[in-house]
Structure 1
Amino acid sequence: MTALEFTYALDQVSPTLRPFALKLTKDHEDANDLVQETMLKAFTNREKFSEGTNLKAWLYTIMKNTFITNYQRLVRRNTFIDTTDNYHFLNSSSDHVTYNNAYTDFAMEDIYAAIDKLQEVYREPFMLHYKGFKYHEIAERLKVPIGTVKNRIHIARKELKSLLKVYAPAEA
């Protein structure tokens, strides 16, 4: 098979590679890269293809092996070896970052302190709503109209927002 014939055959089969690449990578850009790399490897190794065999299966095998090799390379790149007496493999991927809860603990203390500063008339419906009660359930429990419940929760939120403004996101 000449290079021109092989290129034509690759061109005919290439549209079927993208869905398989997308299934492997689960990302459009990575899938495009994988298809391109597969096509390049297939063309550069065209002499290894046996004419009369299934070109599509050969390309799928190249794609699958390329994907596995790239994945293993990525994993190896994020692994360090500790050379102390006991060897330890440390995965350095940023997906596995552990944070302590100090900031969260301080924030929760401030939130509860701010809630305690609310007048009882606002704090009680707010806390019931926070615990998952619906407006009509709070109204029944407190024996006040539903509009009053909504108003008190709104005022409580507004008050808490001003008390906790140090936690507000910075504006651009």
Structure 2
Amino acid sequence: MRQEQGQQAGTFAMARRDRLLGQARKLCANPTDADDLVQEVIARFIEEFGDNPHLPAEASGEAWLVKTLTHLFYTQCRRQRTQLNRAQDPALSEHARETSPIPACDAITPEQFSEARGTLSPKLHETYELHASGMKYEEIARRLEIPIGTVKKRLHDARSRLRKYLQNLLKLGPP
């Protein structure tokens, strides 16, 4: 029974592998890292849900996969940044921060990014969130019943507005 449950979890995750791989390729610098990231997410899904008698609902399971993929990617980025700074503990590495400035995107907190997303119009926000969840342009166009060119324009506008808002926020500095 346990093996059968693990197989069900594996089948569920593997059925979404291509979508996860597409999302990972948007995040990662190279295809090998993207593939490794997806394999790790699938392994964690099986580990998490393989012993459960019931898998999560389809939408919940997909959300878990995408969220885990994103969190793993950011964890890897933090780990790499720490290694690049040659710091055993970033909290103790004042010298590392003085010698290598923090890239602007690393200075943005999740709360600041949420605040920036909140400034988008409802149409831009919805389009941006669908894309951020891993949907391709064609899928977004079908779901919103708009032309693919409109999806591209909305994403361009959303990114431009987010960039401008966050750049202004960084210029102002902490309150």
Q: Which has the larger radius of gyration?
A: 1
Q: Same fold (TM over 0.5)?
A: no
The structure whose residues are more often helix, as a share, is 2
Compare relative contact order (CA 8 Å, sep 6+) and give the higher one, 1 or 2.
2
Which of the two has greater strand per residue? 1
Q: TM-score range by the shorter chain?
A: 0.3 to 0.5
